[in-house]
Chains A and B, each alone.
Chain A
Amino acid sequence: DTGVSQDPRHKITKRGQNVTFRCDPISEHNRLYWYRQTLGQGPEFLTYFQNEAQLEKSRLLSDRFSAERPKGSFSTLEIQRTEQGDSAMYLCASSLGGGANTEAFFGQGTRLTVV
């Protein structure tokens, strides 16, 4: 078990370009979460999956954002027509079960810089 892995670790893109991030959760974990963290702030919830089903999306997830978990394993987060305000660390987390007291394991994040 290598933990939650995210790829790439860093991404620099020009405004208006599309970007896609990948998250590989811990293998037996059925819950997968995406968070966004801006400088000096705590992570903010974006969306989560139970297996392949996307169960909740935050209002932070505008129409330019889309997330998938096609086979209930890895997940992708795509941002279309990036804006400078999208610059942030994107964190993925996974857990076994979705109870409120369940520990979520976080990846190291993908740092996006939009220039």
Chain B
Amino acid sequence: AQSVTQLGSHVSVSEGALVLLRCNYSSSVPPYLFWYVQYPNQGLQLLLKYTSAATLVKGINDFEAEFKKSETSFHLTKPSAHMSDAAEYFCAVSLYNQGGKLIFGQGTELSVKP
């Protein structure tokens, strides 16, 4: 069965610093991978998705993620953190012929210090 592991439930960075949020997946077949962001008391918003077209995926707000099959990883990065990036981030996997349902990791809370 597929699963998603996010390393680090809390990450804290200074404003302007690099953001790195880690995600590893387990799947017996090629997965589709997603990163979602959730602001307090809000629903989830899609940041970016990997659908096998390109291993480096660019998303909204200067976020990007790189699919590495050999490492079964899909880490999320942003070159320079902004205060408004403080939120909960979820990595998710979806498989072909699974109805489009998403399997989520447990989430990483990102704090940005001034």
State the A residues within 8 Å of B (CB): 4, 31, 33, 35, 40-45, 48, 50, 55-56, 91, 93, 95, 97-109
- The minimal Cβ–Cβ distance linking A114 to chain B, given in whole angstroms, is 19
Chain B residues 83 to 114 lying within 8 A of chain A, measured CB to CB, are 90, 92, 94-107
Q: List B residues at the A interface (Cβ < 8 Å).
A: 4, 9, 32, 36, 41-46, 49, 51, 90, 92, 94-107
Residues of B within 8 A of A4 (CB): 43
A100 touches B106 (CB 8 A): no
Contact (A40, B9) CB under 8 Å given A4-B43, A106-B45, A107-B43: yes
**What is the bound-complex CA distance between A31 and B94, given in angstroms?**
15
Residue of A whose beta carbon sits closest to that of B100: A98
- Please, which residue of chain B has its CB at the minimum distance from the CB of A101? B51
Which residues of chain A are within 8 angstroms of B102 by Cβ–Cβ distance? 33, 35, 43, 45, 104
Given A106-B45, A107-B43, A109-B43, verify A100-B97 contact (CB < 8 Å).
Answer: yes
Contacts of A33 in B (CB 8 A): 100-102
CB-nearest residue of chain B relative to A43?
A: B104
Contact in complex: A44, B45 (CB < 8 Å): no
A40 touches B106 (CB 8 A): yes
With A40-B9, A103-B46, A103-B49 as given contacts, are A56 and B106 in contact (CB-CB < 8 Å)?
Answer: no
For residue B95, which residues in chain A have a CB less than 8 angstroms away from its CB? 100
A92–B113 alpha-carbon span in the complex (Å): 32
Instruction: Give the chain A neighbours of B41 by CB distance below 8 A.
Output: 108
Q: Which of A40, A44, A104 contacts B100 (CB 8 A)?
A: A104
The answer to whether B44 touches A43, judged by C-beta atoms less than 8 angstroms apart, is yes
- Interface hub of A4, A44, A48, A99 (most chain B Cβ within 10 A): A99
Q: Are B104 and A98 in contact (CB under 8 A)?
A: no
Distance between B5 CB and nearest chain A CB, rounded to angstroms: 11
B100-A102 in contact (CB<8A):
yes
Across-interface contacts of B106 in A (CB, < 8 A): 40-42
In the bound complex, what is the Cα–Cα distance between A49 and B42 (angstroms)? 23
Check A106/B43 contact, CB under 8 A, given A33-B101, A40-B9, A100-B95.
Answer: yes
